[in-house]
Amino acid sequence: METIKINKAVIKERSEVLEQIRVRLKQDFVGIDEIIDNLLEYIRIWYLMPEILTRPIVVCLWGMTGVGKTDLVRKLVRYLDYQDRFVEVELGNSDETSWYSSVSTILSMNEIVDGKPAIVLFDEIQRFNTIEPDGSPVTNTKFTDFWELLSDGRLAKRTREDLDTYLNSYLHNQRQRKKELAKVAATTHPDDSGSSGNSSNTEDPMQQEVGLWEAENIKKMIGLDEDVLDIAEMTKTQILEKMLEAKKRKKIYEPVDHSRTLILISGNLDEAFRMAIQTSESDVDADIFHAFTKKITQVDIKNALSRKFRPEQVARFGNIHLIYGSLRRRDFEALIATEIKKIVAKTYDRFGILLTVSDNMHRLIYRNGVFPVQGVRPVFSSIIDILETNLSKFAFEAIMNDYDRIDLDYDFDKQAIVARLGAELVVELPYVGRIDKIRQSNLEAVVANVSVHEAGHAVAYVELFGLAPLQLKSKVASSYAGGFTFPHQIYETRDNMIKKIMVFLAGGLAEDLIFGEENATVGRSNDRENATILAMDYIRVHGFDSSFQANYTMESQYLMDKFKTDKAVEEMITTLVAKTRALLEANVDFLKTVSRQLMESGSMTAKDVAQVAESFGKKAEIHEEGHLHVFDYTRDLGVKSEE
């Protein structure tokens, strides 16, 4: 057994490098300090002592788009100085995803075949599903050796038959070429000068260099240690000798060892990050989305993977899953501040102009650039659109008039960017953010309708759960005015499912109550759909209706037709409509007050709702985004709750 010698000085030096990389990455990325720390800890052994590894380290990065998964890997590679030992691959089953059909081919093309440490990123892995959405297997999947790589890090080259055929074919072709040239030489007569008229064509083919293209093919086929350029300069006789030597030692039949390879897998799993589909939502507080994504666990990830891959394949992803939460408000604010700081420095370096940017400009960019589930990309775009594009106009004026200072501000009342050039010149540029412009286009009458609808949800939420909703909105970035009421996470029980149905129903019923049934809008359609789904689950899945105790969602000829439960679903919702209407009628003044305040401001926080509720003698508890509303089950067991 070979003894592995550990160089302590090298390990110490690499440890210091790793700590420097930790600092640099945290400077480059906001809001993912925990991800960076965990990633570096998982790869520490790979970087410090790769010699002891017997299988590759597999680390999975999961999150919504724009959180920096791919960029983190690329910067890590650059800081480790591993650019020449790095391969970035996007797997897929369609013909458009790659020119190749195997991972081994891609790695060999990038010369990752020598068993030395390397980094491979398999990006956008969600596109490489082996199970269709209906649960059926995907036929004719490509890159089947991907699963071999994840298993033990060893990839077979080709079958013995394929390799023998290649070697025999190579030798046969060279011999045939030599015979043909011998015939040509026998029929060619020297000219008067005594030289051959076609000497280049009669040269011994086995003494010719193999050339670059053939060298690459040979290196991949038999795994020569030499560089491709060195192989290209070898004669075919030398290559043949190496082939025969490799065959004799059976080296060419051995699988390629990737046990010292760091495998990083990255992807967006909408099945786990269900809020990822709300890509157009710019009005939901980023902290609310963050709280929901922080609740996602490794179990949720494995469940999401099981909808795309077979069980044995899910297992090969391993257990190292780093889960990105969506960025918080303060993360977006820090990102904006960092990018503005870069612009300030660039403006001074290029033009000698000292630039200051007010907090109002920061707010303007946030209001018009942050779409919480889309990550950082829209923010970068908005900084260019709002700040850099308009700054160029002021900078030109400053340069032409020898001003060495620009102070930028935004006046929300005037809706204008205000620039002070030098000490005396003030220039105003009318400007409305692209998203603000959409918000302002909402008709007042429609906003009034939406405000009552959302207030209906809020009043029912306060009355039934004793909680103030996280956020209310009636003026949103949509060409068709709409709003939302954002609840907490509710632990689903028999009672809570009924309450949730009533909250969903309350929006449309509030419109009926305030504006009359004839003026009620279709805005209730999504609410009714969600209420119906809950009612169907209540009866068909959970057995909460005493008349239906089987599960009627399964497809089986032995079960009662599930449509026979439709009458019970309809009766349940009809009953809850009456109860919800009575609840709103009993709290009509509370409803109108919330509606008016929401219409005036366009938005209400949990604190705002709680204050209105208190004025009507009602208690509405305020809890942060990650709060789970759950019954105190410990109490009935006689166990003291930790809370």
Q: What is the dihedral of CA 461, 467, 471, 474, to 10 degrees?
A: 30
Q: Which of 481, 487, 478, 479 is nearest to 451 (CA)?
A: 481
Q: Which of 456, 500, 67 is nearest to 289 (CA)?
A: 67
Residue showing tokens 């209730």: 524
Cα–Cα distance measured from residue 114 to residue 116, given in angstroms and rounded to the nearest whole number: 6
**pLDDT over threshold 70, residue 486:** no
Burial of residue 420 (CB within 10 Å: 0-12, 13-18, 19+) is: middle
Q: For residue range 127-139, list pLDDT tens digits in order.
A: 888 888 777 788 7
Cβ atoms of residues 204 and 178 within 8 Å: yes
Q: What Cα–Cα distance (Å) separates residue 103 from each residue in 91, 100, 110, 150, 415?
A: 9, 8, 11, 11, 55
Cα angle for residues 411, 607, 577 (degrees, 5° grid): 115
Question: Among 83-87, 271-275, 283-287, whose mean pLDDT is lowest?
Answer: 271-275
What's residue 99's pLDDT?
55
Cβ atoms of residues 256 and 223 within 8 Å: yes
What's residue 110's pLDDT?
82
Cβ atoms of residues 272 and 251 within 8 Å: no
In terms of average pLDDT, the best of 135-144, 236-245, 466-475 is: 466-475
**pLDDT over threshold 50, residue 22:** yes
What's residue 191's pLDDT?
55
Q: For residue range 85-98, list pLDDT tens digits in order.
A: 999 998 876 655 45
Question: Among 145-159, 217-231, 571-585, whose mean pLDDT is lowest?
Answer: 217-231
Cβ atoms of residues 551 and 504 within 8 Å: no
Cα–Cα distance measured from residue 411 to residue 432, given in angstroms and rounded to the nearest whole number: 10
Residue 165: pLDDT band by 50, 70, 90 thresholds? low
3-class secondary structure, 109? helix
Question: Among 21-25, 326-330, 605-609, 634-638, whose mean pLDDT is lowest?
Answer: 634-638
The residue with greater pLDDT, 198 or 509, is 509
Give the pLDDT mean for 526-551. 85
Q: Which of 56, 86, 411 is nearest to 257 (CA)?
A: 56
Cα–Cα distance measured from residue 47 to residue 70, given in angstroms and rounded to the nearest whole number: 20
What's residue 248's pLDDT?
67
Residue showing tokens 């907090």: 359
Question: Among 215-219, 350-354, 429-433, 608-612, whose mean pLDDT is lowest?
Answer: 215-219
**pLDDT over threshold 80, residue 183:** no
Residue 502: pLDDT band by 50, 70, 90 thresholds? very high
Provide the token pair at 533: 């789904």
Cβ atoms of residues 364 and 437 within 8 Å: no
Question: Among 224-228, 229-233, 426-430, 632-636, whose mean pLDDT is lowest?
Answer: 224-228
In 103-208, alpha helices (H) = 103-109, 146-152, 160-187
Q: What is the dihedral of CA 617, 622, 627, 629, to 10 degrees?
A: 0
What's residue 234's pLDDT?
84
Cβ atoms of residues 14 and 49 within 8 Å: no
What's residue 602's pLDDT?
82
What's residue 17's pLDDT?
95
Q: Which of 210, 225, 222, 375 is nearest to 290 (CA)?
A: 375
Classify residue 374 by its DSSP letter.
Answer: G
Provide the token pair at 501: 């149905």
Question: Among 84-93, 181-190, 492-501, whose mean pLDDT is lowest?
Answer: 181-190
Q: For residue range 333-383, list pLDDT tens digits in order.
A: 999 999 999 999 999 999 999 999 999 999 999 988 888 878 888 899 999
Cβ atoms of residues 595 and 513 within 8 Å: no
Q: What Cα–Cα distance (Å) separates residue 564 from each residue in 78, 574, 624?
A: 62, 17, 42
What is the phi-psi region of residue 66: left when phi exceeds 0, alpha when psi lies from -120 to 50, beta otherwise? left
**pLDDT over threshold 60, residue 162:** no
What's residue 480's pLDDT?
41
Give the pLDDT mean for 552-579. 75
What's residue 190's pLDDT?
55
What's residue 289's pLDDT?
77
- Name every residue whose Cβ is closer than 8 Å to that of residue 322 and which is 6 or more positions away in sequence: 35, 38, 39, 59, 60, 61, 62
Give the pLDDT mean for 300-308. 88
Residue 154: pLDDT band by 50, 70, 90 thresholds? confident
State which amino acid sits at residue 580. T
Question: Among 238-247, 320-329, 478-487, 585-594, whose mean pLDDT is lowest?
Answer: 478-487
What's residue 26's pLDDT?
93
3-class secondary structure, 269? coil
Cα–Cα distance measured from residue 381 to residue 374, given in angstroms and rounded to the nearest whole number: 12
- Name every residue whose Cβ is closer than 8 Å to that of residue 392 and which is 6 or more positions away in sequence: none
Cα–Cα distance measured from residue 110 to residue 256, given in angstroms and rounded to the nearest whole number: 14
Residue 16: pLDDT band by 50, 70, 90 thresholds? very high
Mean pLDDT estimate for the chain:
82
**pLDDT over threshold 90, residue 430:** yes
Cα–Cα distance measured from residue 253 to residue 222, given in angstroms and rounded to the nearest whole number: 8
Cα–Cα distance measured from residue 587 to residue 272, given in angstroms and rounded to the nearest whole number: 38
Q: Which of 279, 442, 284, 433 is nearest to 362 (CA)?
A: 433
Give the pLDDT mean for 605-631. 90
Q: For residue range 441-459, list pLDDT tens digits in order.
A: 657 888 888 899 999 999 9
DSSP string, 409-421: EEETTTTEEEEEE
Give the start-end residues of each E strand in 14-69: 57-62
Cβ atoms of residues 153 and 257 within 8 Å: yes
**pLDDT over threshold 70, residue 160:** no
Q: Radius of gyration over alpha carbons of the chain, in Å?
A: 34
Cα–Cα distance measured from residue 640 to residue 503, given in angstroms and rounded to the nearest whole number: 31
Residue 641: pLDDT band by 50, 70, 90 thresholds? low
